[in-house]
C-alpha cells in the first residue's frame, strides 16, 4: 500500500509532535513520488541489476540548519513499507567505505571502490543519508565513482545537506576533480531546497539557558533535558575521519552532538578536525570546560580553535564551564587573546545569533 506522507504529517501535527510548516509540507510530495516508485517496483537481489541506470531519481534535500530536514527524513524512512532500506549518517557511512576499501586492498584488489559498492548494494533498494558534507580530499576523490556504482546497481539515494550540490567541497583542494560528482548528483537526484524561514531547533532552545556555571550535577541535569528535547533519542558514537585522525563524538543523534571538553580538546586535534566537526553537526552540547591557564595551554589553544570553527559554522553551542566566559581564562600565556573567544561565547548564547 502506497504511503501518503501528507496524511502522516497531518497526524503528527494534530498530535503536537510537529509544528505545521508550509515549506516542510511542500517537500512531502517528493517523498510520495519516491514511495510510489519504490513500492511499485519489485525488489531485485544480487549484483546482476547494474546493466542500466535506474529510472527512479533520488532526492537531495538541502536547507539551513534546524529547518526540519532530518525530521522529514525520519518520517519518510520510518513509514515507507519496503524491504532493503538503510539509513546512515554520511560521515559514518564514509568511514565504513574507507574500511571496506582498506580490506579489499589487503586482498590485492587494485580497484577497491567497485567491490565495496557492490557489497553495500546487495539487497539494498533505498539508502538514506543525514548531513552530506565533503570536507576531506580523500572522500572527495572517492564519492564520484562510489555513487556512480551505487546508482548503477539500482540503489535509490535520499540525502539531506546544509548546502546545495554546488556548494559541496567548496574551496577544497583540487576541487575541479570533484565537479563531475556534482553533475552526477544533479542528474540522478531531484535537488529540493527546504526553504523554511524558521530555524525550529533554535526556536526550541533559544529561550532556555545555553551556558551553565558551574559544571555540576545541576548543570548536567539541565543539559540532559536539552539533549532529550533536541536529539529526541539515545545517541550513538560518531567518528569523523580527517587527514588520518579520528574525531570522536561520544553521542550523536538528529544533528545534535554531545561531548566533554577532554573528548575534543584533550587530544591533538587541529583546525581541520574542528571544521569537519562543525560541518557534520547542528548543535554541540559541550560539558566540563575547566578554567584555562598556562597549565593547560595546549588544551586551551584547541578550545579557542574549536570555538572559532563552531562560530564560523554557525553551530549552536550549549556548554557547561567552571566560570563565565570573561573569567574563564584570566592569567597565563594566551589570556589576552582569549578576549575574542569570550566575546564569541557570549554572542553564541544570544537568541537569533545564527540568523542569516
Mean local confidence (pLDDT), 110-114: 90
For residue 206, name the pLDDT band (cuts at 50, 70, 90): very low
| Res. 1: pLDDT tops 50 | no
Mean local confidence (pLDDT), 100-111: 89
pLDDT in tens, 4-49: 899 999 998 898 878 899 999 999 999 999 999 998 866 554 544 4
If phi > 0 it is left, if psi is from -120 to 50 it is alpha, else beta; for residue 270 that is beta
| Res. 277: pLDDT tops 50 | yes
> Which CATH entry fits the domain spanning 5-193: 3.60.15.10, 3.40.50.300, 3.40.50.11540, 3.40.50.2000?
3.40.50.300
> Which CATH entry fits the domain spanning 200-348: 3.90.320, 3.40.50, 1.10.287, 1.10.101?
3.40.50
Domain ranges of the chain: 5-193, 200-348
Residue with cell 534546524: 66
Q: By C-alpha distance, which of 233, 225, 281 is closest to 256?
A: 281
Q: By C-alpha distance, which of 159, 207, 178 is closest to 59?
A: 159
pLDDT in tens, 143-181: 999 999 999 999 999 999 878 999 998 878 889 999 999
Average pLDDT along the chain = 86
Beta-carbon contacts of residue 311 (< 8 Å; ≥ 6 apart): 344, 347, 348
Task: Give φ, ψ of 156 to 5 degrees.
Answer: -90, 130
Amino acid at each position: 500500500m502506497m504511503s501518503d506522507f501528507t496524511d502522516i504529517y497531518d497526524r503528527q501535527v494534530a498530535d503536537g509532535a510537529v509544528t505545521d510548516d508550509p515549506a516542510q509540507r511542500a517537500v512531502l510530495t517528493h517523498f510520495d513520488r519516491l514511495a510510489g516508485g519504490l513500492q511499485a517496483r519489485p525488489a531485485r537481489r544480487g549484483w546482476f541489476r547494474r546493466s542500466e541506470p535506474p529510472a527512479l531519481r533520488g532526492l537531495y534535500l538541502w536547507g539551513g540548519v534546524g529547518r526540519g530536514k532530518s525530521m522529514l527524513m525520519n518520517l519518510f524512512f520510518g513509514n515507507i513499507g519496503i524491504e532493503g532500506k538503510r539509513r546512515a549518517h554520511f560521515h559514518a557511512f564514509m568511514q565504513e567505505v574507507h574500511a571496506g576499501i582498506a580490506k579489499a586492498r589487503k586482498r590485492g584488489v587494485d580497484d577497491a571502490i567497485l567491490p565495496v559498492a557492490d557489497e553495500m548494494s546487495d539487497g539494498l533498494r533505498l539508502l538514506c543519508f543525514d548531513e552530506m558534507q565533503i570536507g576531506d580530499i580523500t572522500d572527495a576523490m572517492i564519492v564520484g565513482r562510489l555513487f556512480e556504482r551505487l546508482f548503477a546497481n539500482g540503489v535509490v539515494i535520499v540525502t539531506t545537506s546544509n548546502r546545495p550540490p554546488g556548494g559541496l567541497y567548496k574551496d577544497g583542494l583540487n576541487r575541479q576533480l570533484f565537479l563531475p560528482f556534482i553533475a552526477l548528483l544533479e542528474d540522478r537526484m531531484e535537488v529540493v531546497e527546504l526553504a523554511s524561514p524558521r530555524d525550529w531547533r533554535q526556536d526550541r532552545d533559544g529561550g532556555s539557558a545555553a551556558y551553565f556555571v558551574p559544571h555540576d550535577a545541576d548543570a548536567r541535569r539541565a543539559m540532559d533535558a536539552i539533549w532529550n528535547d533536541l536529539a529526541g533519542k539515545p545517541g550513538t558514537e560518531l567518528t569523523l575521519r580527517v587527514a588520518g585522525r579520528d574525531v570522536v563524538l561520544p553521542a550523536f543523534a538528529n544533528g545534535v552532538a554531545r561531548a566533554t571538553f577532554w573528548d575534543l580538546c584533550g587530544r591533538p586535534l587541529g583546525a581541520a578536525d574542528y571544521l569537519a566537526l562543525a560541518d557534520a553537526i547542528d548543535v554541540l552540547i559541550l560539558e566540563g570546560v575547566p578554567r584555562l591557564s598556562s597549565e593547560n595551554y595546549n588544551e586551551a589553544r584547541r578550545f579557542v580553535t574549536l570555538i572559532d570553527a563552531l562560530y564560523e559554522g554557525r553551530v549552536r553551542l550549549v556548554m557547561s564551564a567552571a566560570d563565565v566566559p570573561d573569567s574563564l581564562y584570566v592569567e597565563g600565556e594566551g589570556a589576552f587573546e582569549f578576549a575574542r573567544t569570550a566575546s564569541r561565547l557570549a554572542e553564541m548564547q544570544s537568541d537569533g545569533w545564527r540568523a542569516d
